Structure 1
């Protein structure tokens, strides 16, 4: 957020002063773009990514299943999918659900944990994530274009193309251009990658694990239907009531403390 605000401030103060005819339009457009990026950033970082509520009692105590055989297999469009048992949340994970080690929650349609927003990207905030990276890409392309225009104009008016002269005359524009160029390529790669995943109805986690190299993707419904389902389909209410009062379950806390060492030793096995 600081990088967006600072970039827009430098753009408005230093590059805007060289614009005579269309200064208001150019500066206001950058302001609108920065507001869109910040709003989408707030939405993706504060919205429920699709957290699955925890179970307060182990499945083995409910149905008498063995600890070693806690798994279910279901078939989706002829493709067999294994539902793993999460020993932290004590639930059978729904299809495409994964337990995030950072957030310590099972998240539906888990894509990845993004350190830049401090939040998981999953079923309920993926469309906002796409809006965020796409709007940020447009913003930095806009900033980079006018930065190059001002640098070129300074070189033309100065009659010399020496780099040190440009750095002396417009150092803030050079710095803004370099930063926006780096951000532009980083965000461009993210946008292309996630557009590709959206068209195939895959998640970044599934792509990294290569889940569908040996079998077909049962969730692939065609490019158009995949885009509609992921980006435009109406979502139901959140499974978690974040305003509910929570009372500590001391028995549950004691069990978690007793099993902490055991869970840490078997974490690698769960991930594999």
Structure 2
């Protein structure tokens, strides 16, 4: 007699996430931008290792390829951990729990919020009408993934996942390591072109190594936004805030300022 197959939770998951490797990995419903991020990083690093590293290892130091490999490995590891892990999804209420909060004969929905005492202090809980539960403080519902995420920071299409309590440290490590990687690769490409241009001129250097010019251009265009993002999340981490909370605070302040003017 064949054994009865057990249905796992990810197979009946109510959100829009996609699951891979028998539920061990998960992504957002549309991970296409994540694939673009992965392709840009891998493609730029491949050009860097193929053209800049051999030249600089011979002319400058053999540590250049080793340092580049370490930064590239750390960046890709943090990216994959952020993109493929659970951001902190809060399970939806079971049918019995949802019926207790929203009885069909009540005629009205439950209150939007309620207060509970935690260690003697009142804590406000907001009700999620999609997940049928009062979610914890600092949690929020992601409309793209259709889940409530604990300590929700934001939904990042570049990593193809929500960023929350369980993967924020990997996201922060990805942003910081990507900043160092972009600066390092840009510096190596510029150094390569500068050494080639000695005596021959910049035009000859560009003809000799067009891949270095392409790498320098890609890094120059992206490094400013990456550095700004790393600085912004360093500020958030130091002040114990999330992107969602910071944006909400600024929107509230702007609304109050406009209301005061009018």
TM-score interval, smaller chain: 0.7 to 0.9
Secondary structure class of the residue paired with 2:151:
coil
Deviation by residue 1:120-157 (Cα, 9 ceiling, x = unmatched): 00001100001111111111111011111112222223
Structure 1 residues 44, 68: CA separation in 2 closer, same or farther (over 3 Å shift)?
same
Q: Which runs of 5+ in 2 are unaligned?
A: 1-37, 254-262
Structure 1 residues 140, 166: CA separation in 2 closer, same or farther (over 3 Å shift)?
same
Structure 1 residues 208, 50: CA separation in 2 closer, same or farther (over 3 Å shift)?
same
Structure 1 residues 168, 88: CA separation in 2 closer, same or farther (over 3 Å shift)?
same
Match of 1:141 among 183, 200, 212: 183
Structure 2 matches for 1:187-198, cutoff 5 A?
Answer: 187-198=226-237
Contact kept? 1:52, 1:108, Cα under 8 Å: yes
State the Cα RMSD in Å. Answer: 2.8
Q: Structure 1 residue runs of 4+, over 3 Å off?
A: 21-24, 62-66, 73-82, 164-167, 211-214
1:166: how far off?
4.2
Contact kept? 2:90, 2:150, Cα under 8 Å: yes
1:87 aligns with 2:129: yes
Task: Judge which range, 79-88 or 6-15, deviates more.
Answer: 79-88
Aligned to 1:56: 94
1:23: how far off?
5.1
Query: TM-score, with normalisation over the residues of structure 2?
Result: 0.72
Aligned to 2:240: 201
Aligned to 1:14: 51
1:111 aligns with 2:148: no
Contact kept? 1:16, 1:23, Cα under 8 Å: no
Contact kept? 2:102, 2:110, Cα under 8 Å: no
Contact kept? 1:75, 1:81, Cα under 8 Å: yes
Aligned to 2:195: 153
Q: 1-side partners of 2:151 and 2:104: how far apart?
A: 26
Contact kept? 2:92, 2:133, Cα under 8 Å: yes
Q: 1-side partners of 2:206 and 2:74: how far apart?
A: 31
Secondary structure class of the residue paired with 2:126:
strand
Structure 1 residues 29, 79: CA separation in 2 closer, same or farther (over 3 Å shift)?
same
Q: 2-side partners of 1:212 and 1:133: how far apart?
A: 25
Aligned to 2:258: none
1:62: how far off?
9.7
Q: 2-side partners of 1:213 and 1:79: how far apart?
A: 25
Structure 1 residues 65, 135: CA separation in 2 closer, same or farther (over 3 Å shift)?
farther
